[in-house]
Amino acid sequence: MLSTVYSGGVTGVDGYIVEVEVDVSKGLPDFTIVGLPDTAIQESRERIRASIRNSGWEFPARRIIVNLAPAVMKKGGTGFDLAIALGILASLGHIPQDALRKFVVMGELSLDGSVRPARGALCIAVSALESGRNSLLVPAENANEVRALEGITALPVSSLEDAYDVLNGRFDGSLTVACKRTGDSTTDFRPRDTLADHPSDSDPLESAESLDLSDVIGQMHAKRALEIAAAGWHNVLMVGPPGSGKTMLAKRLPTLMPPPTQSEAIEITKVYSVAGLLKPGQGLITKRPFRSPHHTSSYAGLVGGGPMIRPGEISLAHRGVLFLDELPEFRRSVLEAMRQPLEEGKITISRASGSVTLPAMSLMVASSNPCPCGWRGAHGRECSCSPRAVASYAGRISGPLLDRIDLFVEVPRLDIQDLYGGVKGETSREVLARVMSAREIQVKRFEGLKISFNGEMSSREVARFCRVTEEGRKLLMKAFESFSLSSRSYNKILKVSQTIADLGGDTVIDKKHIAEALSYRAILPWNRRS
């Protein structure tokens, strides 16, 4: 007898609905899965056999054929286990077909019949909604993640028997379910509406709660640069000797950014869901991610890849901050691969099997030493590098990558007096208020356009939106001549000036804005080109 179960697969971060057709017929006993399954799905036969047996049913001595439609798409992972098992039970008449058809089912089975969390549950839930299906049967651990979606009814199940009970109407529909695996005796799954006032307590990212901009003493210039970066989405490069506070500053950048909106939070959580980085029972990620990959990271680790194409660091930093410490130490191929995502906010990975596009709208903050030894230009320390070594160090960062950096800022080493008597400056909260108002201005400015930040403006938009006073224009012309600026740096300066003006609440770009923007031009060995 044929039965159909709806389940879902994921390519990149986009889910799609898979129709799991299960045909159980007479004939020599067999169990085959077709529809381009990968090894994990092939192995699911063993998990399904064992979990059906261990849940108290007999595994049928029948000819079982499972088809995962659309059969042309390659499918992978363990998320189809539960759907296939339920399909078999439905074909045997244990579960009413019409009840089963109402749900989109996902989850991995373990040999004892309990259900393990599925990767990409949120992505599948989104695609389920899009295709007009709003009832989900999800592993208990995925329930909070999926419930964040408007209009989704997700029933958490912890075992094959749970699912059987639900589908036979033997579940009272209450949403509080004992969660086996998390260790807590009862993990309370709240209904959707109360979830909002209960933001996810656990975060796969470093807790930014305790960080504040005022932790960093001095470095006013760098702090201001971060403020501009956060307000107008400008990429930053900080140059300074070891121990000057570059990493400390970068870590505090997320505190200057407004919390993600609901739709941004869904985008962020989708990436983490696919990457399998959500903790069991975790809901939406409500903080901006801060990712700091080590400079030895591989191409696939940073950009994304692997056989089923998993998101890399650049996608994990989506809508947040990607901190590249020691930028010149990164592999050249890796850095070059960053160019497209920095430009377009997404990364397309092409394989023979097809191409996948992952979101990668991250604010890049890079740091570098001024030279290989690190002490060039520092007070009281000699730099031991030859001019040639300095040049080759700087040359490791290609021009096209530097073009995507709007703000260059020097982070000098502080003297002992500075550390004790230095100014703490504003708190993150104070700066954030200005950033938020600058963002509001930008939202209005770019209404109806694809971009939403000054940093994303092309030369056409710069010409359209940036209005400069006569005095400002004079200063710009002067700088243009004396520094022999390229037209690209001209645009960069205008973009940064616009953000500075927005931060001050000014409607036109004036001399002072241009002057400040000019201070974030390339410094040290890097200024030889732009």
Partner 1 sequence: MSGVKSLPPGQAGILGRRGEDIVASYLESLGCSILKRNYRTRRGEIDLIVSEGQTTVFVEVKSRSSLSSGDPGERVGMRKRRRIIRAAISYLLTAGGLDVPCRFDTAIVDFHKGESAPIITLIKNSFDLDAQS
Residues of this chain that bind partner 1 (CB under 8 A): 25-32, 45, 58-63
Strand 108-109 and strand 14-25: the pairing is: unpaired
The torsion angle over the Cα atoms of residues 342, 347, 348 and 351, rounded to 10 degrees, is 120
Q: How far is the CB of 37 from partner 1 (least distance, A)?
A: 13
Q: How far is the CB of 232 from partner 1 (least distance, A)?
A: 59
- What are the φ/ψ torsions at residue 239 (nearest 5 degrees)? -120, 130
Q: How far is the CB of 66 from partner 1 (least distance, A)?
A: 13
Count of residues making up the chain? 530
Q: DSSP character for 114?
A: B
Contact 156, 175 (CB under 8 A): yes
Rg (the chain; Cα; Å): 27
What is the Cα–Cα distance from 268 to 285, expressed in whole angstroms? Answer: 7
Which residue, 109 or 475, is less far from partner 1 as judged by CB? 109
Q: How far is the CB of 78 from partner 1 (least distance, A)?
A: 19
What is the Cα–Cα distance from 408 to 402, expressed in whole angstroms? Answer: 10
Q: How far is the CB of 59 from partner 1 (least distance, A)?
A: 7
Which residue, 30 or 344, is less far from partner 1 as judged by CB? 30
Which residue, 25 or 427, is less far from partner 1 as judged by CB? 25
Which residue, 31 or 189, is less far from partner 1 as judged by CB? 31
What is the Cα–Cα distance from 325 to 61, expressed in whole angstroms? Answer: 59
Q: How far is the CB of 4 from partner 1 (least distance, A)?
A: 22
Distances (CA, A) of 413 to 307, 397, 421: 45, 23, 15
Which residue, 53 or 429, is less far from partner 1 as judged by CB? 53
For residue 67, give the H/E element and its range.
strand 63-69
Q: How far is the CB of 68 from partner 1 (least distance, A)?
A: 17
Which residue, 29 or 243, is less far from partner 1 as judged by CB? 29
What is the Cα–Cα distance from 330 to 243, expressed in whole angstroms? Answer: 20
Give SS3 for 420.
helix
Which residue, 30 or 112, is less far from partner 1 as judged by CB? 30
For residue 126, give the H/E element and its range.
helix 121-130
